Amino acid sequence: MKLQDTIAIVTGSSSGVGAATARQIAAAGGKVVVNYASKEAAAHQVAEECRALGGQAVVCQGDVSDDSACQKLVAVALDAFGGLNCLVNNAGTTKFNAHENLAGLTDADFYRIYGVNVVGPYQMVRAAESALRAAKESVVVNVASIAGVRGVGSSIAYAASKGALITMTQSLARVMGPEVRVNAVCPGFIEGDWLAEGMGQDVYDRSLASLRARTPLQTVCTPETVADSIVGFITAHGVVTGQHLVLDGGHLLL
């Protein structure tokens, strides 16, 4: 698929990886639905940036754990752009909790994290299925995490949810072909405010310095480098489906 032909919904695109992905699609002349759950002003700013880059963009509020919001997102894409051939399931949430602190996670924490990170992508694919199949050469990219590969990360609930998303990527790939390819990216540490706020600045700074010193590539992800790989799955890899790509500067090798 050529990026300029892309009509995409990018969930959770008011900041971070989602915003970077929306901007890359728009910069090539693509069309994008910018989605947010609570950060309305930030989402409209991203949409303005997309338009300034030469693309088309509309904004749609919705929490993907709510099935009606997922259906609304697809309806907005169809109304605004007349079709849909790309879905980037980027929206995610977590609770920062040390893995050894088993008492620190409640059942409500698990339900909320799974609702956004696992049920949300499923509901988005289900809502978009007809439109994606009708486009005949469509792509779904799920934003998972190295947490789902290694069982690490902000909390056990988060790691488990991302592992489930990787498994679901395989399941969906089997049934969405031949019209739709379904793949996932699995970023490691992503430089930016989200991790800094969740981890605390001191822990964030020490973790960043350690990874830059120890990984084979001596680097970590940024929202833009993760977006690069998402765009790669959209525009290339035409015979690839059901796969997950680890983006971590080689941290998995340690």
Catalytic residues, by residue number, are 158
d(CA 7, CA 131): 11
Tell me 190's DSSP state: B
Amino acid code (one letter) for 27: A
What b-and-e string marks burial along 192-220, b requiring 16 or more CB atoms within 10 Å of the CB?
bebbbeebeeeebeeebeebeeebeeebb
**How far from chain centre, in Å, is Cα 243?**
15
Q: Which residues contact 152 (CB under 8 A, 6 or more apart)?
A: 99, 146, 159
d(CA 185, CA 52): 27
d(CA 150, CA 167): 14
What is the rounded end-to-end Cα distance, in angstroms, of the chain? Answer: 35
CA angle 112, 114, 117 (to 5 degrees): 105
